[in-house]
């Protein structure tokens, strides 16, 4: 399933495209790459929850 994740750029910013829709917008391609990495990890773990906020790690 992680093969279906990809980064796309639109006029509104960078998005990560998933089987269930788009996550974003993000300001930079680097931010989208970091989110994509988290999403791939989440899918590999069998979870669809991923975030970059500090509260998610506590």
CA distance 19 to 36: 13
Whole-prediction pTM? 0.69
Average pLDDT score over residue span 4-8: 90
Higher pLDDT, 5 or 55: 5
Sorted by sequence, the CB contacts under 8 Å of residue 57 that are 6+ apart come out as none
Tens of pLDDT, residue by residue over 12-31, are: 999 999 888 899 999 999 99
Query: For position 45, what pLDDT does the model report?
Result: 76
Tens of pLDDT, residue by residue over 39-54, are: 888 777 775 565 666 6
Q: Domain map of the chain by residue range?
A: 2-48
**pLDDT > 90: what percent of the chain?**
48
């Amino acid at each position: 399933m992680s093969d279906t994740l990809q980064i796309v750029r639109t006029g509104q910013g960078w998005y990560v495209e998933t089987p269930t829709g788009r996550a974003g917008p993000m300001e930079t391609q680097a931010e989208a790459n970091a989110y994509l990495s988290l999403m791939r990890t989440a899918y590999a773990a069998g979870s669809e929850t991923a975030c970059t906020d500090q509260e998610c790690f506590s």
